[in-house]
Structure formats: C-alpha cells, structure tokens
Amino acid sequence: MTYHVLIVEDEPSISDYVKKELVFEDYQVSTAFDGLAALEVFEQAKPAVDVVLLDWMIPKLDGLTVLRRMKKIQPNTPIIFLTARDYIGDKVAGLDAGADDYITKPFEIEELLARLRLIFRKWSTSCSKVYELDYLKVDLTAHTTEVAGKTVNLTQREFALLSYFLDANCKSKLASQAHLI
C-alpha cells in the first residue's frame, strides 16, 4: 500500500526536497504552501491523507491553527510538526494541541523517514474498533453506523457484512505495511 503524505511548507526548497525523497520511497505526496490551502487539500484528498508534515510558520493560518482544525476533521490522522520553532514551550504546545511528533529544522531525511515508519507501525498495530472512511463512521463496539453525521440503522446481517469488509481493509493495510517494518 502506498501512503499519502501531505506536506505543508511555505519554503519551496524544503517542500521540494522532502517531496522528492518521499516519492523516491514510494509515498504519494500532496503539497500546500499556506494554512488555508492545507485545509482544502486535507478535506478533498482522494485517497485520504495518511499523515501530515506541518510547518508552524506558514502564511494565512499558522500551523497550530491548522493542526487543531485538521484534528477536528479527522482526529486519527497523524500530524508531525516539521518546523524551525525549537523552543521547548512551542514543542509542548504543539504536542499538547494534538501533534503526534515534533521535528525541528534543520533535520536529516533519514530521521523523518524513520519517524514516518514509526507512525505507520503504531497505526498498523492499533486497528481501531471505530472506522471512519470519508462520510462513513462505524463503531464496532457500540454497533452504530453514521453516514454524513446521520445515524443509519442496519440489520444485523448488513452490519456484520460492513464490519467484515472494514476489518478486511484494516488487515490488508497491515499486510501491505509489513515491508515498512
């Protein structure tokens, strides 16, 4: 499986370098150069974004605001700050706001790649009992299904089939990630 990474970086040289390295490693990559564009790409990306590399100091909306909004849209999408802000207070604020990791510039691409592998390794071992896919949300524990925020009542057989396919999708992601670990 190819993972989709969104790079949110206003410095073209950094964005181009990271994109080139990620594409070489078989990631699908989208880019945005400001906060508003990042949110638009994040919401409209097909396939969905698997991880976001986010600079803090970007135009239109700062990275912390973008982080908070992305977490409201898709709370389970990992977000890694990739920023020059190295003050401990900024690191704490970023991580407390929901960032999954924090890398300061300058950085080595090998470290970034290792941290991405770590994110996907953690993701692969924690297939959730709540599945979210575009407008669909299925909670296997509570036996609830929502489409575009509205509850949909399914028969037991319909729910079992939907659960089966979602679980199979999760397992196929696990199998395809084995080459990353």
Q: Is pLDDT at 149 greater than 60 in this prediction?
A: yes
Q: What is the Cα–Cα distance from 52 to 121, expressed in whole angstroms?
A: 16
- 19 DSSP assignment: H
CATH number of this structure's domain 4-124, picked from the four choices 3.30.565.10, 3.40.50.300, 3.40.50.2300, 3.40.190.10 = 3.40.50.2300
pLDDT band at 176 (very low <50, low <70, confident <90, very high): very low
* pLDDT of the residue at 74: 86
Q: Where are the beta strands (DSSP E) in 41-118?
A: 51-54, 79-83, 101-104
Q: What is the Cα–Cα distance from 145 to 132, expressed in whole angstroms?
A: 10
Q: Is pLDDT at 108 greater than 90 in this prediction?
A: yes
- 78 DSSP assignment: -
Q: What is the Cα gyration radius of the chain?
A: 17
CA distances from 33 to 22, 29, 36, 63 (A): 17, 13, 9, 11
CA distances from 54 to 5, 14, 45, 102, 159 (A): 10, 12, 16, 9, 37
* pLDDT of the residue at 123: 66
- The answer to whether 6 and 30 are in contact (CB under 8 A) is yes
Domain boundaries, the chain: 4-124, 130-177
* pLDDT of the residue at 56: 97
Q: Is pLDDT at 46 greater than 80 in this prediction?
A: no
pLDDT band at 164 (very low <50, low <70, confident <90, very high): confident
Q: What is the Cα–Cα distance from 55 to 66, expressed in whole angstroms?
A: 10
Could you report the per-residue pLDDT of 62-79, keeping only the tens digit for each?
999 999 999 998 888 999
What is the mean predicted confidence (pLDDT) over 20-38? 97
Give ∠ CA 48-58-3 in degrees, rounded to 5.
25
